[in-house]
A and B are shown apart, each in its own frame.
Chain A
Amino acid sequence: MKALLIGECRGGQVLDATWELFGYAAQACAEPLLFMVGTKEAVAGAGVRVLLADASKQGEYNPEAHKLLILEAIRRESPDQIVFMHSSYGWDLAPRVAAALGVAQSSEVIGIAEGGFELCACNAKMRRTVVPTTAKIVVTLQGGAFQGQKPAGSTEIQDLDVEASSRLEFLGYEEPEKKDVNLATAEIIVSAGRGVGKKDNVQIIEALAKALGGELGASRPVVDSGWVAQSHQVGTTGQTVAPKLYVACGISGAIQHLAGMRKSEFILAINKDKDAPIGEVADVLVVADLLQFVPALTAKLGR
């Protein structure tokens, strides 16, 4: 079995998540081959055979051109699987490739099942086993579901090029607001979720973070509501974190949030709902009203 792994390059750097594709390939017993639109420098030590398209010509994000490049790679190599990360790059590009090939795509795979894949469903509350019916398949992997594994073979770079026009004009990247907090290196993070109810209640979560000597984190809905700054967002569209202690307050546990914090050493969740999906990754789930429990915990820690 042969897998074409679609790596990602941003700002001239290979994204770390690219190595998770190799963890998947190892588990799937697939011969890995890396595709990337990037630079020679970026893939110089890749340790594997690379089909490299020039990012300065094709753009780092140009799905119409990248689709044609991937189709060219597939034509040359006839892989059985085309594997992406389920990232802003992968979830955007994978369906375009699947449609062009007329083959099945399994999205945000968390594991390999007999004849198919394990996927999350219903905001991580349920699991589905999906079996593709086409010979060739496109797969996207959930971030963190497979171990990053850098290949240790010899690097062999083969150039790949197509002439492609694009109907999308790329206007450039826009950096996020200046980070006042670096959650990636924090040892303790206390995060607020939708369950805090309103903006005023965020201070209850902040007080616990302070009492524990940690940083304030937040789930996406809390950031979208303007209760907490985006720089505090944990999850696939925010920061990926792995602190010694992660306290999830009123966070139900959407897939995108879990993917950003599941590697934490110890996870304490406070939730009214005993069946919230956060319980699936939590070491301890406290079933309580956080507006009562959190201030009580803060007070006791302060003594």
Chain B
Amino acid sequence: MAFRMNEYDEFAVEEAVRLKEKLGGEPDVTVLSIGPDRVGEVIKKALAMGCDRGVHVRDPESTSRDPWQIASMIAAFAKDKDFDLVFTGMQSQDRGSAQVGPLVAEILGLPCVTTVVAFEWADGLVTLRRELEGGLRAGFRLRCPAVLTCQLGLNTPRYPTLPNIMKAKKKEITLLQPGELGLPAALAVTKAFRAPERKGSGLILEGDVASLVDRVIALLKEKTAVLR
């Protein structure tokens, strides 16, 4: 199995780096990830995309943590750092809870906008659009500090260039243990993890293209009213 950066987080990293570039490199961008040793690679990628420093909360048990535990650790780290903005993905691809960003905001007492698809900064005032259903968007304005959760399509995440990958090797990655961030007890536990049952009638067709085409046309004629 190959592991890579959560897709939603790529948009979060990209937006933070773009803001840094727009403001002449002045903002200091920290990337934080909680997980086993392998998330070190994800942190290195974010550093190669343009983040200034990394924080790796080394937690081999991260996949069994609930969103409350993950958010509590992030908030504990951010609490006394005076970040103007915290960018997160709107959800993870593996858990998809969409809870961590708003929970971090609640713990820190910061305003939060989720599902951000457009972002503009003007001297501490942020103008945003968030995505609703059916392509509808809603506009917001707020003053920093704030937590924003990023939706796909917010920008086009860059691929790190070779020189930037080399440069990233010199950037600092701080290692922390969950205990140092006051890991709380879980509020929910995962009791089972399994592959889903397939729909009873689901049919899997394999073979050469010509015979597949014939079988599919026969099935559509038999099972649907759309082919005459």
Does A281 contact B199, Cβ atoms closer than 8 Å? Answer: yes
Does B115 contact A132, Cβ atoms closer than 8 Å? Answer: no
Shortest Cβ gap from B155 to chain A (Å)? 10
**Interface size range of chain A in the complex:** 35 or more
Contacts A96-B102, A171-B141, A279-B202 hold; do A88 and B195 have CB atoms under 8 A apart?
no
Partner of B102, one of A86, A99, A104, A171: A99
Which B residue sits closest to A120, measured CB to CB? Answer: B96
Partner of A220, one of B101, B134, B152: B152
Q: Does B49 contact A (CB under 8 A)?
A: no
Does A127 contact B196, Cβ atoms closer than 8 Å? Answer: yes
The count of chain B contact residues (Cβ–Cβ below 8 Å) is 74
Q: Which of B96, B105, B130, B204 has the most CB of A within 10 A?
A: B96
Contacts A238-B134, A287-B206 hold; do A127 and B191 have CB atoms under 8 A apart?
no
Which A residue sits closest to B93, measured CB to CB? Answer: A123
Q: Does B201 contact A (CB under 8 A)?
A: yes
Shortest Cβ gap from A196 to chain B (Å)? 17
Shortest Cβ gap from A278 to chain B (Å)? 10
A-B contact count (CB 8 A): 238
Q: Does B164 contact A (CB under 8 A)?
A: no
Chain A binding site: helix, strand, loop or mixed by DSSP?
A: mixed
Partner of A107, one of B96, B140, B191, B213: B96
Q: Does A43 contact B (CB under 8 A)?
A: no
Q: Does A199 contact B (CB under 8 A)?
A: no
Does A266 contact B205, Cβ atoms closer than 8 Å? Answer: no
Q: Which residues of B contact A287 (CB under 8 A)?
A: 204-206
Partner of B115, one of A88, A103, A133, A224: A88
Does A268 contact B220, Cβ atoms closer than 8 Å? Answer: yes
Which A residue sits closest to B11, measured CB to CB? Answer: A224
CA distance in complex: A230, B205 (Å): 31
